[in-house]
Structure 1
Amino acid sequence: MDEKETLHHYLRVRRDNLLGKLDGLSEYDVRRPLTPTGTNLLGLVKHVASMELGYLGDVFGRPSGRHLPWFDDDASPDADLWVTPDESRADIIELHLFAGAHSDATIGALPLDAAGVVPWWPEARRHVTLHQILVHMVAERAHHLGHADILREMIDGTAGQRPGDPNLTPRTPEEWATHRATIEAAARAATP
């Protein structure tokens, strides 16, 4: 794989991983805020899909034609980070898939050195290349996927990218409880 194919591959994998965090969860569980700032799984999917449409569409003069009302001037702050009752899970998943297809078309059509402009960035750094934005989007998706990993574990204990993730030490629930207790004891012992 060349550099563009490598970056594109990692972007696609992170897209699939983020969507997978919704699998098997109730409507409430994908929407409920689990942090003091309101972070929730379906909101993360909505946010990242929206960002991808901007960065891999508008920035390169390839607008998607998709109206995102949560970015309207009269929208509430952070409206891209949560899902209203009249926005369905299917709507958000469709947005995510649409954003991916639109981004894939941009990536396929442009060379890595293609110039773009990020109008919402400071003037000094708003002129970018596709290469910069691909790195940015892989990092953005990985960042929010990390949030989603933790949220999913808080909801139902599912950890890793998928069941049987080879990056997790295989343990029974009892072994995980013992492991967590060991870490808790170490934290308490280190606290004056």
Structure 2
Amino acid sequence: MSDITEEPPAVRPAPPSGTIAATGNSLLTDEGASPVTDQALVKQTLHRYLQKHRAALLAKLDGLAERQARWPVTPTGTNVLGLVKHVAAVQSEYFGRVFDRPLPDPPAWLDSDDDRDMYATLDETMADIVAFHHASAAHADATIEALDLDARGVVPWWAPEHRDVTLHRVLVHMAYETARHAGHADIVREMLDGLAGDGDGNLAEKTPEEWIEWRERLVSIAEQAGLREAGL
């Protein structure tokens, strides 16, 4: 998309999925109702945020054909299926190798350094990538359930002075990592066919026509700002 004036597809709000992705951040747990003194409750909160963002990311593949799922929307090649594959790979390492609980039967490409986690090859189907993501998530969940928040691990690819970590830190890191890439996938999907949001009520309620008017308003503001900057 090198031409910023190219018309985008019509906006289509994502429907509620019935999964944790559609429950909204405020409904994830009852933490906050009382002082947090229970590590199990803290772990539950972090885990459920991770699960929410996982579900949101995977939902961005719903309804896409193989070509659409792989289509690179940005100059750096960002694509929905690649984001799902990348998050699954990173998750398997942080909750696997870091705590000496390696993922059983990992794919051969997992140890490669040629960015094969950022896209699906022709030999891999969308179903293959989704299955790998599910396996990675199940393995991560088993690690989270088995260990305490203060369980120690080592991230060998981090700088030596920072590589000693706890499960607490890794949970925060992976919730952030997953949320970041779920956001990427949301925008990529919107550029592909207009599907936007997670169906959790956080997308403004507008008709397709109102979204067009909204974007035209922003385009007008941007153009006027550009003219002003140019002194015209």
Q: TM-score band, normalised by the shorter chain?
A: over 0.9
- Tell me the distance in 2 between the aligned counterparts of 1:105 and 1:92: 20
TM-score, length basis structure 2: 0.79
Match status 1:166 vs 2:198: no
Match of 1:107? 144
Task: Decide which of 44, 50, 75 is 1:36's aligned counterpart.
Answer: 75
Report the AA paired with residue 153 of structure 2. G
After superposing the two structures, state which structure 1 stretch, 112-121 or 1-10, moved more: 1-10
Match status 1:27 vs 2:62: no
Task: Decide which of 198, 202, 211 is 1:176's aligned counterpart.
Answer: 211
Larger Rg: 2
Q: CA deviation at 1:169?
A: 1.4
TM-score, length basis structure 1: 0.94
Instruction: Describe the SS at the equivalent of 1:113.
Output: coil
Match of 1:120? 157
8 A contact 2:89–2:110 mirrored in 1: no
- Tell me the distance in 1 between the aligned counterparts of 2:142 and 2:219: 48
Match of 2:105? 66
Report the AA paired with residue 52 of structure 1. Q
Q: CA deviation at 1:66?
A: 2.7
- Tell me the distance in 2 between the aligned counterparts of 1:4 and 1:171: 37
8 A contact 2:197–2:203 mirrored in 1: yes
Task: Decide which of 184, 189, 192 is 2:224's aligned counterpart.
Answer: 189
Higher helix share: 1
Q: Unaligned regions of 5+ residues in structure 2, if any?
A: 1-30, 32-40
Report the AA paired with residue 26 of structure 1. A
| Count of residue pairs the alignment pairs up | 188
Q: Unaligned regions of 5+ residues in structure 1, if any?
A: none
- Tell me the distance in 1 between the aligned counterparts of 2:105 and 2:179: 24
Moved over 4 A (4+): none
Q: CA deviation at 1:154?
A: 0.3
Say what the alpha-carbon RMSD is for the aligned residues.
1.1
